[in-house]
Amino acid sequence: MKSLSILLIDDDAIERMKFKKVCKDISFPCSIVEAVNGKQALGFLNNLENTFNIIILDLHMPRMNGLELLEKLKANIKFKNIPIIIMSNSEDDSELKKCYDFGISGYFTKPAQYTKYAKKVRSLLKYWKKNELISE
């Protein structure tokens, strides 16, 4: 089984740690590159050695927030087809609408309870592993 290459963008180290813990706990085959803001993520994306099957993106970050990054990615031919999942604490309907207008592939709020969080992440990974076009 081929590994899923994930770009995880979140300024909160605990959130990044939780995501990686779920992947480890379920033995999910993936490689995760972490970025703490949109500017750092763009650096990883523009590096020709980095190719990602999916991007997990938080909305509220310093330097370049998730909406700003999302707009840039969806306007760029090199990145616009990478599935982007918003994983945020925001439940602001106007933000959610903007995200879908830009072309996200999914959105979920981060539950505070770890077991609920882990369940959502497991479902997300399982779905994208089956539906992402990854050559074996």
Domain-embedded: residue 136: no
- CA dist 56 and 83 (Å) reads 9
Question: C-alpha distances in angstroms, 55 versus 35, 50, 86?
Answer: 11, 12, 8
Q: What is the pLDDT along the chain (136 residues), one digit of tens a residue?
A: 567 889 999 999 999 999 999 999 988 888 999 999 999 999 989 886 768 889 999 999 888 888 899 999 999 998 988 999 999 887 778 888 888 899 899 998 888 899 999 999 999 888 887 765 544 3
Q: How many domains does the chain have?
A: 1
In a domain, 17, yes or no: yes
> Is position 104 within any domain?
yes
User: What's the pLDDT score for residue 35?
Assistant: 95
**What CA–CA distance (Å, rounded) separates 100 from 13?**
26
Q: Which domain holds residue 89?
A: 4-124
Q: What DSSP state is assigned to residue 82? A: S
* pTM of the predicted protein model: 0.89
What is the DSSP pairing of strand 106-109 with strand 84-88?
Answer: parallel
Tokens of 54: 């999916």
- Whether 132 is covered by a domain: the verdict is no
CATH number, domain of 97, equals: 3.40.50.2300
CB 31 within 8 Å of CB 58: no
On whether residue 71 sits in a domain, the answer given is yes
In this structure, what are the phi and psi dihedrals at residue 125, rounded to the nearest 5 degrees? Answer: -65, -45
